[in-house]
Structure 1
Amino acid sequence: MTPPKIANTDDFHAANVAYALDRAGYSASGRLMFQHYLWKDVTGSLIHPDILTDVGAVLARTSREVEVHVADVGTGTGAWALDVACLSGIHGIAKFKVHGFDISDEQFPPAHILPDNVQLSVGDALGGVPEELRGCFDIVHVAHFAGVRALGDDPSPAIEHALALLKPGGWIQWDEWAREVEVVKLSPSPHCDAALGVSARIFPRWLHDLVGHISKHGFVESVQHDFKSNNSLLPRLTALWYMTAEEVVKIGFEEPTRSMMMQMLLSAYSEAKHPETRALFRMCPSLVIGKKPAVNSSSSR
């Protein structure tokens, strides 16, 4: 059976979808938690070691209180923020204070379970930064904004937001899953290939030059770090790929495209389970880091 052709993925915009994933359901929160722990398994860290080395060295030279202030933009369930808050003693950093922001608080954990060094607030990552938060953070973490359809093909609003939150000399870390996915298989898998091809067309073009976009806005020492998971994680990464794809289809598309794409996913899954195919999806995360110049310029205001 030949996979169906999905001619136009612009149907995302027909329903005015600003965010391609779900916020309300328990499945969506579970998927985010699963994604978070897989990210740690593949990359081996929450904050890139180059950032921690530099921030720790700056604190040591300036004899400032050895406490690092971190903003988690698009915090979702707060899983990353809560894990970072538990870190201590890394590169001389005694304590991390984390402030998580999201456009919606639907996935926030209950406030009464948060430790004293974690705060979660509603905030728009594509809007202005309140004056009391400007220049307050040593590190700004931005994660998985490929599904933020409101950005379109230009991540500038989110980059400018992060830049405003950072202290001079502070660092941005931007994490994304969607930049590269490959099918690992024993034999040809046209349905899996078709599903992967359609998913690649959904995500924005800026993913492929995030370093360039960040550098254009004044960040220096900008570097992209790519990761490739080992084969033992492929079953978990495959499960995450299907969970994410199904969520995107259900939230982001209208009929009849929604039904066509769900059928494509089901056909891919059936083909992948065949003993002669055994297709798996390897999701390869990447992160981009960059440093706000220590001296303010017109591009960093």
Structure 2
Amino acid sequence: MGSRQQTPEYLLGRGLIESIRLDAQHTLFRLHNGYCLHPRVPVKDDMKIAEIGTGTAIWLFDLARQLPPTVQLDGFDISDQQFPHQSLWPSNVHLDILDSLTEAPGRLVGQYDVVHIRLWTSVIRGNDPGPLIRHASSLLKPGGYIQWDDANLEKHTVKGKAAERFEKIVQHCWQVMDIDHRWLLDLPHRVEEHGFTLLDSYEGEFAPDLIQLCTNTYLVILFGMLEVVKAGPEGKILPSISECSESLQAVYTETRYGGSFHWPPVTVFAQKK
């Protein structure tokens, strides 16, 4: 297994804090959805499930506890830096490096019953998730399922004066870094355009008891992102890192008094025709 370093397209680090953040966001979606694998997926002893952009593989590790050990669980990511050591993998889990924005290798085409996607919102460029959807579709058998959880960063939920100020900084940073999240506004239709039948989708808000967890993990994301991009692209100006950090800390403090700065979830479950 090879190793890939952080790529320019990925704005977040892959160290301890980011790995903990990914695991916390798994808890967030687990509680929000009420399931790990969508309940409409028919479970078979010999089925194969893939996750693209697997990160710490926490979703696969959780799933391995629920499914028969004969189910094959494969996780792919462009970097192996957040993979747990191989000695810790469940016997039916395998992790490997793969760029899921390119054409899938022939050995993987048409092999899987389910492909899971989570939190690609700031990885997609050009407002076009098409390459990712086509890659996922190519991995699936006819009749296979795509299960997708994401964060609609185009529609922040903002409550409090500090959150309102910080939201302006964040939107400016997205613009400077040329990151467009509008595709999340129409994800179910985008998936349908690529040969899937939509079976279930949700676009709304987290329950009140999950808002703090979403806010906390999002603030971790933003702090990490601001650290990575603080220099800004050549010829473009970002707010100073001190200004961003002070504003972010003010948002966190404000949450103790009822403030909030989080994103609404988007979930899509569809079947390949």
Q: TM-score under structure 1 normalisation?
A: 0.76
Q: Is the 8 A contact 1:229 1:282 kept in 2?
A: no
Instruction: Report the equivalent of 1:192.
Output: 163
Q: 1:30 aligns with which of 20, 28, 34?
A: 20
Answer yes or no: is 1:20 the counterpart of 2:2.
no
Alignment of 1:110-259 (within 5 A): 110-149=85-124, 151-179=125-153, 180-184=155-159, 189-199=160-170, 202=174, 203-221=180-198, 223-226=200-203, 228-254=205-231, 256-259=238-241
Q: Structure 1 regions of 5+ residues with no counterpart?
A: 1-15, 60-65, 294-301
Q: 1:104 aligns with which of 79, 97, 111?
A: 79
Instruction: Report the equivalent of 1:284.
Output: 264
Measure, in 1, the Cα distance between the counterparts of 2:137 and 2:100: 11
Structure number with the higher helix fraction is 1
SS in 2 for 1:172: strand
Q: Is the 8 A contact 2:112 2:141 kept in 1?
A: yes
Alignment of 1:75-90 (within 5 A): 75-88=54-67
With over 3 angstroms needed to count, the CA separation of the structure-2 counterparts of 1:152 and 1:270, relative to structure 1, is: same
Q: Is the 8 A contact 2:152 2:185 kept in 1?
A: no
Q: CA deviation at 1:258?
A: 4.6
Identity of aligned residues (%): 31
Q: Structure 2 regions of 5+ residues with no counterpart?
A: 1-6, 175-179, 233-237
Q: Is the 8 A contact 1:38 1:237 kept in 2?
A: yes
Q: CA deviation at 1:270?
A: 4.1
Q: Is the 8 A contact 1:43 1:227 kept in 2?
A: no
Instruction: Report the equivalent of 2:248.
Output: 265
Q: Is the 8 A contact 1:76 1:107 kept in 2?
A: yes
Measure, in 2, the Cα distance between the counterparts of 1:119 and 1:272: 40
Measure, in 2, the Cα distance between the counterparts of 1:198 and 1:152: 21
Q: Is the 8 A contact 2:49 2:73 kept in 1?
A: yes
Q: Is the 8 A contact 1:33 1:79 kept in 2?
A: yes
RMSD: 2.3
